[in-house]
Amino acid sequence: MSAVLDSHGHGHDDHHGAPHGWRRWVYATNHKDIGTLYLLFAFTMLMIGGILALLIRAELFQPGLQLVNPELFNQLTTMHGLIMVFGAIMPAFVGFANWMIPLQIGASDMAFARMNNFSFWLMIPAAAMLAGSFFMPGGAPAAGWTLYAPLTLQMGPSMDAGIFAMHILGASSIMGSINIIVTILNMRAPGMTLMKMPMFVWTWLITAYLLIAVMPVLAGAITMTLTDRHFGTTFFNPAGGGDPIMYQHIFWFFGHPEVYIMILPAFGIISHIVPAFARKKLFGYASMVYATSSIAILSFIVWAHHMYATGMPVTGQLFFMYATMLISVPTGVKVFNWIATMWRGSMTFETPMLFAVGFIFVFTMGGFTGLILSMAPIDTQVQDTYYVVAHFHYVLVAGSLFAMFAGFYYWCPKWTGVMYNETRGQIHFWWTLISFNVTFFPMHFLGLAGMPRRYADYPMQFADFNALASIGAFFFGFAQVYFFLFVVLPAMRGHGEKAVAKPWEAAEGLEWEVPSPAPFHTFENPPKLDATATRVIG
Residue 247 annotated to the active site: no
Query: Whose Cβ is closer to another protein: residue 33's or residue 513's?
Result: 33
Q: Is 13 left (phi over 0), alpha (psi -120 to 50) or beta?
A: beta
Residue 256 annotated to the active site: yes
Other beta carbons less than 10 A from residue 521's beta carbon? 18
Other beta carbons less than 10 A from residue 462's beta carbon? 20
Residue 188 annotated to the active site: no
DSSP state of 500: -
Other beta carbons less than 10 A from residue 2's beta carbon? 4
Instruction: Point out the catalytic residue in the list 173, 183, 203, 341.
Output: 173
Query: Whose Cβ is closer to another protein: residue 348's or residue 485's?
Result: 348
Return the one option of ligand HEA, another protein, Cu ion, none that residue 271 interacts with (CB less than 5 to 8 A, by type).
none
Per-residue burial over 357-383, b = 16 or more CB atoms within 10 Å of its CB, e = otherwise: bbbbebbbbbbebbbebbbbeebeebb
Answer yes or no: are the C-beta atoms of 255 and 262 closer than 8 Å.
Answer: no
Answer yes or no: are the C-beta atoms of 138 and 158 closer than 8 Å.
Answer: yes
Residues 76, 112: Cα–Cα separation, whole Å:
37
- Binding interface with ligand HEA (CB under 6 A): 46-47, 50-51, 53-54, 56-57, 77-78, 80-81, 84-85, 89, 144-146, 259, 262-263, 305-306, 324, 327-328, 331-332, 335, 364, 367-368, 370-371, 373-374, 379, 383-384, 388-389, 391-393, 395-397, 399-401, 439, 453-454, 473, 476-478, 480-481
3-class DSSP state of 418: strand
Residue 521 annotated to the active site: no
Contact status: 238 vs another protein (CB under 8 A): yes
Instruction: Point out the catalytic residue in the list 31, 32, 272, 306.
Output: 306
- Quote the least distance from Cβ 352 to Cu ion, whole Å: 29
Map the footprint of another protein across residues 52-91, applying CB under 8 A: 62-66, 69-71, 74
Residue 260 annotated to the active site: yes
Return the one option of another protein, Cu ion, ligand HEA, none that residue 414 interacts with (CB less than 5 to 8 A, by type).
none
Residue 172 annotated to the active site: yes
Instruction: Point out the catalytic residue in the list 10, 305, 444, 521.
Output: 305
Q: Return the HEC string of 83-120.
A: HHHHHHHHHHHHHHHHHHHHHHHCCCCCCCHHHHHHHH
Query: Whose Cβ is closer to another protein: residue 273's or residue 488's?
Result: 273
Return the one option of ligand HEA, another protein, Cu ion, none that residue 112 interacts with (CB less than 5 to 8 A, by type).
another protein
Residues 441, 240: Cα–Cα separation, whole Å:
45
Contact status: 4 vs another protein (CB under 8 A): yes
Query: Whose Cβ is closer to another protein: residue 314's or residue 531's?
Result: 314
Residues 285, 70: Cα–Cα separation, whole Å:
50
Contact status: 174 vs another protein (CB under 8 A): yes
- Quote the least distance from Cβ 513 to another protein, whole Å: 18
Query: Whose Cβ is closer to ligand HEA: residue 183's or residue 385's?
Result: 385
Among 58, 68, 438, 449, binds another protein (CB under 8 A): 449
Query: In sequence order, which residues have a C-beta less than 8 Å from that of residue 156 and are 6 or more positions away?
Result: 136, 137, 138, 139
Residues 287, 118: Cα–Cα separation, whole Å:
36
Residues known to be catalytic: 80, 109, 145, 172-173, 256, 258, 260, 271, 305-306, 331, 334, 453
